[in-house]
Amino acid sequence: MNRRRGLLPQWLLVGGFLLLCGYLFVSLIHYQVSIGSKQQELLSVQNQLNSQLTENAELSNTLEQGDDAIIERYAREQGYAKPNERVFVDISGK
């Protein structure tokens, strides 16, 4: 009986296949971690964008109100208040 042998032993083919599967599994885990990290970074940047858009809208509104509003806003940022006006400060940090 003439047995025909392949070019590579079967154990070598199985070993190569297992190595390939292991490599693909490790790559999959690595990419999942990378995607999670990038999603967190995206959320952070979106939050920064939203706060910047809010600040821009407030500044645009102040500009539309004129010079007096600009001066009043600056004075309030410096801690000044109008006569007989009570200023409440939120110390909770929220």
CA distances for 40 relative to 44, 48, 51, 73, angstroms: 6, 13, 17, 35
Q: What is the pLDDT of residues 11-60, one digit of tens each?
A: 888 999 999 999 999 999 999 999 999 999 999 999 999 999 999 998 88
27 vs 93, more confident? 27
* Confidence category of residue 3, pLDDT binned at 50, 70, 90: low
pLDDT of residue 2 exceeding 60, the answer is no
User: Hunting for tokens 């047995």 — which residue is that?
Assistant: 3
Tokens of 81: 């208040």
Q: How far apart are the first and last CA of the chain?
A: 85
Per the CB < 8 A criterion, the answer to whether 40 and 46 are in contact is: no
Q: What is the pLDDT of residues 58-82, one digit of tens each?
A: 888 888 888 888 888 888 888 888 8
User: Hunting for tokens 């392949």 — which residue is that?
Assistant: 6
Q: Whole-model pTM?
A: 0.53
The per-residue pLDDT for 18 is: 96
3-state percent helix, strand, coil for the chain, nearest multiple of 5: 70, 0, 30
Per the CB < 8 A criterion, the answer to whether 83 and 76 are in contact is: no
